[in-house]
Amino acid sequence: MSKKAIKTLKNLFLPLFILSFFIVFPLHHCEAKESETDILYTVQLKKLHPEVLSSLVRGARVTDSVSKSRIGTVDSLSFTPHMTETYSSTRDRMVEVPHPYFRDASVIVRAHGTEHRHGYRLGSFELFEGATVHFFTASFTGIGECTAIYESEASS
């Protein structure tokens, strides 16, 4: 290898090293830490098969499978019959009635987040009322919607 090539390689090494640092540790890791708030938020998961409900467990760590961010731990769970819309011939309009088989789940998740726009930032995931949550735990996957966010008593 010629001396010139070696010199070029040496000159390229430092910029490449600096670039690789940002690839290994993305920019948001380097941002100044803002004050974090303890929050609780509700995720609604709809039309669940009754046999999958036992896989939704308290204490499970939740990840948003799209942003790959840790978005909290399951604090509590409640299940209600799934409401389905159907035509009522007696009333001649669409009505909502409880489904006899499928269930909806309300999952309350506890997390630490920084205030961001109209909601909170959890890692790289932006949480706000109405946000779609690609809910992923070690035993359960589902797509839900964030319906409410509260600051937890621990932080207030």
Partner 1 sequence: MKKRRLSSYDRLLLFALAIGILLVYVRYRTLSDSPLTGDGEKAAVTYTLQTSSKARAETLARAKELSFADTDSLLGYVEEPPEIRPAYTEALRADGTVAYLPSNAHYEVRGTFIAEGSFTENGFFANGQRHITANQSISAQMNGLNVTILVLNVHHFSSK
Nearer to partner 1, 113 or 142 (CB): 142
* CA atoms 75, 55, 100, 83: torsion sign: positive
- Min CB(100)–partner 1 separation in Å: 5
What DSSP element (H or E) covers 119? strand 119-122
Residue 57 vs 154, nearer CB to partner 1: 57
Residue with smaller CB distance to partner 1, 4 or 49? 49
Is the CB of 59 or the CB of 156 nearer to partner 1? 59
Contacts with partner 1 by CB under 8 A lie at 10, 13-14, 17, 20-21, 24-25, 48-49, 51-52, 54-55, 61, 63, 84, 86-88, 90-91, 95, 97-101, 136-142
Task: Report the nearest approach of partner 1 to the CB of residue 88 (Å).
Answer: 5
**Given the complex with partner 1, which of 12 and 154 has the nearer CB atom?**
12
Q: Minimum distance between the CB of residue 54 and partner 1, rounded to whole angstroms?
A: 7
Query: In the bound complex, what is the minimum distance in angstroms from residue 115's beta carbon to partner 1?
Result: 27
74-81: long-range contacts at Cβ-Cβ below 8 A with a sequence spacing of 24 or more?
74/107, 74/108, 74/109, 74/137, 75/40, 75/108, 75/109, 75/110, 76/107, 76/108, 77/105, 77/106, 77/107, 77/108, 78/105, 78/106, 79/53, 79/103, 79/104, 79/105, 79/106, 80/104, 80/106
Tokens of 134: 């690609």
Q: How many residues does the chain have?
A: 156
**Smallest distance, partner 1 to C-beta of residue 153, A:** 29
